[in-house]
Structure 1
């Protein structure tokens, strides 16, 4: 097999790597420091350095032993960094970092033994590592996509997988002696385009994730992690379907809790309430914090169980005792329930206003109770037998 004298291809390939590294460094240097991107940029730069050394070696500017071992070692280190960087986009690199130890081993073997004097062996090893890195990176992205769906994830996984496949197809051709300078040039030309694509898609991936994070932050209550008022209005349609229900919950005597246990104690109570109510909900049902100690639950198709759900949440919270710095905080909540008419759709704000009126009545009648909106009762909805008034103090001695 002839030596891989592909100077022009190596120059172009190196240019694509440098351009890709520059594109990756822009968001990283912009202040955001997105995880994984720095490792990817360094990986690109090291591949470019390896290509530069290979070019110098081809023209005799450095010794054969130096460029053969160092370029392969840099390739192994670079592709390991790229794989770790792709993993780091979604989760810690973990034990994959141990793969970086392979690079100094390759360098030592190349400097101390003549094993990499064989162009076929050296090129085969490079293509095998590149193929494994590309395919493993694509698989890592696909697996993480089950937890986080981003529009740029699939194209990025495709580009990485395609790059791995190109190197994977070249690997047996080189190892078995069937490759030619022309076929290798074609492979490098394809990977040049993929290098640009991967860098651009990583930048798009990071930008999309940042936008999604900001969107979630804008509609999520920072304390409890449930939707906030804006998120509630985004999630619930302007006109709710027939048979929907709205529950409005308000902690009783919450100001007294804050006065005695401090705002941190009050925050613990709010978090406990949100978790308790969440545990009662079924898929598709929505919990949001409207502000202060007021929460709302929307049941799009659960009007038939709305009153029972309200009573279950009230009883569970009344029976719960929250340990807080040696004290025990006992709390209760009042709940107003409003059910949309089974015969017509209704506006979201109108249903919320009816739930608020029922909540006000629960407060006026003594707190720690569930009240159903009168309009719902007039439509034939009976008060469940389990609903009862229960009064308990908001705290008990520790």
Structure 2
């Protein structure tokens, strides 16, 4: 069965795909605080919808060829320039004033159209317009993948793939116009498939904004706002419910922290907490989990440790804290930390049990003079 596509219908669908996308971008821009670039994307989609509308009026002989040809090619190039600007800003989350220089390209195209009248020749107009669409879409797909190192959202791969497919379809349109005998499909079919691709691109741009917002909310919910490390909720959720033999749990408590607040003020206390968290974070392995449990208490999870290694690590961290001197308001503040260490063994593997053991060891460290690490042993079981 042969399916025939009517050009006027395809152009109408083309306009609708861009209008729907533009309206969605405007709505998301108004609703989201993570939508840098959505304004430019909406403007680009509106420009492309207008270019398609002019082409549709031309096909119905309601506008003269010089008018609709000029308008469709310049607005189309401007739309894809705005699309690239929007993707650059959306992908990186940054506003780059230099990006707006891309709008000089449609101005150059307009000048060339006036000078050469290429826009009245169908295959030249289509080839130039789709050539710029290919360049814009390929550059946009590259931006999405390049910025993944700074923001690892799963949707980036799908969005980049869809934009790359759009770029490929633009090449197929050019091939159908210039070398129809060897082109794998007619330009109108490639154009029709681009409509489907445009709908999908708009959808996945919205998903990217949504995933980014969710990631930001999750970060806020799981990050201690003072120190920048994980909070109690994050720390507890990062630990396995059932420990394996060799997992170590350390509970840390800054010594005499209340006296720091009382003597130097809460700003000094905050500076101490931040300095301590930064110093400990720099001393850990990649697989370790470190979080602030509340007040001056911190937790540290060390996988794959023997008891002697865990105790040695805790003693080293005591030395890190002892070497810190925090300057605040002209005052030099020294600090020490007490650490309780518990390690999972065959009959003590639940997270709840290990927390109790580490807490008992922490109390033992404080009772024996502070500024030290104590490994839980059976003599502390009554305290646990």
> Is residue 2:173 matched to residue 1:170?
yes
Pairwise CA distance, 1:176: 4.3
After TM superposition, list the pairs within 5 Å mapping 1:1-398 onto structure 2: 6-32=7-33, 34-91=35-92, 92=94, 94=96, 95-176=98-179, 183-303=186-306, 304-341=308-345, 343-375=346-378
Question: Helix, strand or coil: the match of 1:295?
Answer: strand
**Structure 1 residues 375 and 43, CA gap change in structure 2 (3 angstroms):** farther
Distance across 1 between alignment mates of 2:144 and 2:379: 50
Distance across 2 between alignment mates of 1:57 and 1:261: 77
Pairwise CA distance, 1:236: 0.3
Question: Quick check: 2:38–2:86 contact (8 Å CA) kept in 1?
Answer: yes
Question: Quick check: 1:339–1:376 contact (8 Å CA) kept in 2?
Answer: no
Question: Quick check: 1:27–1:33 contact (8 Å CA) kept in 2?
Answer: no
Distance across 1 between alignment mates of 2:64 and 2:330: 73
Question: Helix, strand or coil: the match of 2:186?
Answer: helix
Question: Helix, strand or coil: the match of 1:137?
Answer: helix
Distance across 1 between alignment mates of 2:248 and 2:353: 12
Pairwise CA distance, 1:41: 1.7
Pairwise CA distance, 1:345: 5.0
**Structure 1 residues 87 and 219, CA gap change in structure 2 (3 angstroms):** same
Structure 1, 253-262 or 162-171: larger mean CA deviation: 253-262
Question: Helix, strand or coil: the match of 1:165?
Answer: helix
Report runs of 4+ in structure 1 exceeding 6 Å deviation: none
Q: TM-score, normalised by structure 1?
A: 0.86
Pairwise CA distance, 1:311: 1.4
Question: Quick check: 2:361–2:380 contact (8 Å CA) kept in 1?
Answer: no
Q: Could you list the per-position Cα deviations for residues 75-106 of structure 1 after superposition, in whole angstroms to 9, with x for gaps in the alignment?
A: 22211221222222231363443222212222
Question: Quick check: 2:77–2:129 contact (8 Å CA) kept in 1?
Answer: yes
Q: TM-score, normalised by structure 2?
A: 0.89
Structure 1, 211-220 or 126-135: larger mean CA deviation: 211-220
Pairwise CA distance, 1:130: 1.0
Pairwise CA distance, 1:221: 1.3
**Structure 1 residues 239 and 120, CA gap change in structure 2 (3 angstroms):** same
- How many matched pairs? 372
- RMSD value over aligned CA atoms? 2.4
Question: Quick check: 2:173–2:191 contact (8 Å CA) kept in 1?
Answer: no
Question: Helix, strand or coil: the match of 1:338?
Answer: strand
Q: Could you tell me which runs of 5 or more consecutive residues in structure 2 were left unpaired when the two chains were aligned.
A: 1-5
Question: Helix, strand or coil: the match of 1:239?
Answer: coil
Pairwise CA distance, 1:257: 1.9
Q: Could you tell me which runs of 5 or more consecutive residues in structure 1 were left unpaired when the two chains were aligned.
A: 379-398
Pairwise CA distance, 1:18: 0.9
Question: Quick check: 1:286–1:298 contact (8 Å CA) kept in 2?
Answer: yes
Question: Quick check: 1:241–1:345 contact (8 Å CA) kept in 2?
Answer: no
Distance across 2 between alignment mates of 1:268 and 1:93: 32
Hey, what does 1:393 align to over in structure 2? none
